[in-house]
Every structure is written in C-alpha cells, then in structure tokens.
Amino acid sequence: MKKKVFLLLLKNVGISLLVLALIIGTGVAAFFISHKYYSKKAEVEADVEVLTEYTDILSQVKTDVITKNMIYAVDENNNIKAIMLEICNTETYNMDYITIPVKTSYTIPATMYQKLMSISEELPQVVMLSKLRKYMPEDQEDEKAFGYITVILEKMLGIEASYFTVYDSETFAERYYKQRAIIKYRNAKDAKVAEKEAEEDSSESDTTPAPGTTETTESADRPKVRSVSMAIFVINDDHKEELKEVMDDKEEIMKYIQEEYKQEGFASNLTVANKIGYAEAYVNMNPDYYHFWGMPAKRRAGVFTIKPVTSQKLIQKLMKNTVAYSEPQFDDSIDTSKKITISEKFLTGGIYTEDKELAESIKADREEDDDSTSTSASTSATPKPTKAASSVADKVSIDKKIVILNATGVSGVAAETKSVMTDDGYLVGEIGDYTGNEAVENTRIIVREEGIGEDLLVYFSDAKIEVGTPEGDYDIEIVIGTNDA
C-alpha cells in the first residue's frame, strides 16, 4: 500500500516538473523569437530614407525662439582656451557671438562657493576662467564639469544659458581666428541718459535756449564711452564656406549636426535631436552676416573683470534686436590684420539701430557741433572724434616717438598700454609714473604739433588731446588717467 502511494506521488511530481519545463521552454522560445523579430525590424527601419528619420525627430523636438549657447574650447591639458556666448535668433535669423576673455578673474559668491566645494575641493573662490576645467575633478565627465562651469558663468553675467557646447581647441581653431580689437561700450548707469539724448539728437526741434541759459554741447555732458582692448574670436573664411555648402539644404544641415556630435572632444547638454530642431532656422541664416562682439570688461595688467550689468545690457540689446542683419559686420576696406574697433553697429546715444539715415544724421549733427565749438588755441582740448572718424583715421602718429606715464595709481597700466600700442606699430619708448601734483581723471595726450594724436584716442575711454611740450625729445606724451585704470 505504501509503495503504491509513493509511486503515485512520484508520478505527480514528475508531471508537475514536465509542465514547468514546458512553460519555461515556451517563455525562452518566445523571447528569442521576439528578439529576432524586433532586431530585424530595427535593421529595416534603419534603412528607411534619412529624410523620414529627420522628419520624425523634428516632430518631437521643442526649440526656443532665441537661444544662448555657451561655447568652450579646451586643450589636451584641460585649459580653457576660448569662451563665446552664441545668441541665435530663429525669427530674425541673426547670429551673434560675444567673446568672454578667458583671462577673466571672478570671485564666486559665498553661498554658491560653499555648494560648489562639495563638487570640487580644489576650486578656489577667486577663479581665472581659463583654469575652471582644471579645478573640476579630472575624472568627471565633461557634460557634468561644464554644467557646473556654466552655472558659474551664468552667475557672473546674470543670465541663464540655454545650453553649452564644448570643442577641443584644435577644432575650434579651425573655425575661428583671434582678432585684436578695441571694444567700446557705455556704462549701464548711463543708459537712461543715453536714450534721452538719442531722442533729443534725432528730433528736428529748432528751439533756442531761454534767456539767461546756455546751450550745453554734446561733448560736455554725453555719457562716457568706455573702451577696452581684447582679442575676440571671429569665424574664418574656410569655416564660413563650409557652412555655406550645407546651409542651403536642411537635410545636409542635419547630417552636419549629427557628425559634429560624433567628434572626439565634443560635449553638450543639448541632445542631438534638439540641436537638429534648429535646422529650420539655420537654413535661413547667412554666415556672411554673423556678428562678433566683446563682453564689456575692465582690464588691468592683462587681467579682465566683467562688468555684469553693462554686459546684460549688451546681451539684451542683441536679443531684442528685431531687425535682421543684411550686410557683413566688417567691410572689405577694414584691415583685420590690425586692431579693429567694435561697438554697437550705429552709435546713436547708446541705442542699437540699423537705421542708417538716423545714424548718419546724428553723426552729421555731432560733427557740426564739434566744428562750431572747437578753438584754435594751442592749450585747448580738441573735440573727441566720432566713432566713424576714429575707426578709419589714418595713423598720423605711427612714426612719432611716444612716452607713456601712469597717473592711475594702478601698477602695470603703462606697461600694458605700451605692449598693445607697440603691437600696432607705434614707437613707444619710455614708460613711468606721472609725478605731477594734480589728479588726472581723463587721459591726456600731449602732442608737440597740432594734427597728430587723434589715432590714439581709440585706446582710451575719454582721452583729450592738447598741444604742448611733451617730456624730453618725445613727440607725444600720454598721461593715463584713472578712468583708464
């Protein structure tokens, strides 16, 4: 009896195991069949026309009307060699690039610094932008490292970047060249005054001053135009032609973007699909009309300090510009092998405008005012030339002997100025400290003979020329004032 019960139990266990084996076998078979089916399907779908694939991608992505792309170039030693803010407007099809000097010093706010210390203990509170990647953990992926770096730059500039892009320095150098430039800008605190003066300049009112009052000349009260010498990055001809070859065809642009994302050293927090989403705008852009700027900054002994409020004003002006660029920023007459002057396209009281007639009218009014208020006295300061005059002025002082004296109280300013001017071909001899008793606010350019020195005005924010007796046997004596420290 017990034997029969045991055999029956064994039989039931065997049946259960067989059923379980069948279930497992069916599951495994189903898995391999499904895997083979979907793999084959994926291969077939991969062979579908590229255009269909891109169309599917475009239907899924979302794009902003205006984007701010922080671009970095990094060498093999993790030194940041270039930083640019790219502003892309998909409505006007304008493309603007603002160079941020890598030799910029920035003090990270205390609260942010404490948080960043948990990311990198090597990070100092006072940072040099060129070293930011080296401060991050070496084994940290670029997507993360430059995410933190971009947060620091956002804080410095007071903006929010849409995304960032990282190139190796060699690829970047193949696309952009370094252009020496004088960057002109108005302090943000002067903005309201500048707008008011622009309105007054452009009006056709012929009212005369009331009895007992005097008419103020433009040069006396107009907000100061600051200037700083820096190198900016500009697209080179080869890359411009490369873009032109693909920009007529949306499909070619999409392929170009995909290949870019595969390049070694490339990194971005924007997906390739979202980048492709801008192909519709890129096809309408003309690389010849790209514009290039320098971020407003103060420079001392070769180290820059960004002016955040003024920088925000520049960024906002470019973003709010509703007029499409219709001509190159630099014409063929400009010698880009020399230092060029970069300012708002038409300087009309600090207001960005593409209205050439308005700009020319204001420029003519200013020149007329200058002519009517200038004197022939040898000790009087000559009126500061307009942007148009200073940008095309002949280098009448190129063969004159120049001495530079530092009245700023800041060490290294005279040496830095000598370096810049010598690079441009000027004959700068001695440099030294100014020993006069009076404080010098605006830089003085003292010339031995009338008619020289005007080509030197672009190096300073609000310099004045006066005919006098320069030191020693020099033809020109430059006394750098505190406004140019």
CB atoms inside a 10 Å sphere around CB 62: 6
Predicted TM-score (pTM) of the model is 0.60
pLDDT of amino acid 157: 93
CB 270 within 8 A of CB 57: no
**Tokens standing for residue 440:** 């010098």
**Tokens standing for residue 231:** 């190198």
Domains and CATH numbers, the chain: 66-193+222-342 (3.30.420.590), 393-484 (3.30.70.2390)
Residues 68, 89: Cα–Cα separation, whole Å:
9
CB 238 within 8 A of CB 38: no
Residues 343, 227: Cα–Cα separation, whole Å:
9
Per-residue exposure over 170-192, b if at least 16 CB sit within 10 Å of its own CB, e if not: eebbebbbebbbbbbbbbbebbe
CB 290 within 8 A of CB 97: yes
Per-residue exposure over 247-264, b if at least 16 CB sit within 10 Å of its own CB, e if not: beebeebbbbbbeeeeee
From the number of C-beta atoms within 10 Å of its C-beta (0-12, 13-18, 19+), residue 391 rates as middle
pLDDT of amino acid 336: 65
**Tokens standing for residue 214:** 């005097």
pLDDT of amino acid 185: 77
pLDDT tens digits in sequence order for the chain, 485 residues long: 555 555 555 666 566 666 666 666 666 566 555 555 544 444 434 333 333 443 443 344 445 789 999 999 999 999 999 999 999 999 999 999 999 999 999 999 999 999 999 888 889 999 999 999 999 998 899 889 999 999 999 999 999 999 999 999 999 999 999 888 888 877 655 555 445 544 544 444 344 333 333 333 334 444 466 788 888 999 999 999 999 999 888 888 989 999 999 988 899 989 888 888 888 888 899 999 999 999 999 887 678 999 888 888 889 889 988 889 988 887 766 666 676 777 654 333 333 334 444 445 544 544 444 444 333 333 333 333 333 333 334 578 988 999 999 998 887 788 878 887 887 788 999 999 999 888 888 899 999 999 899 888 877 767 889 999 999 999 999 999 887 76
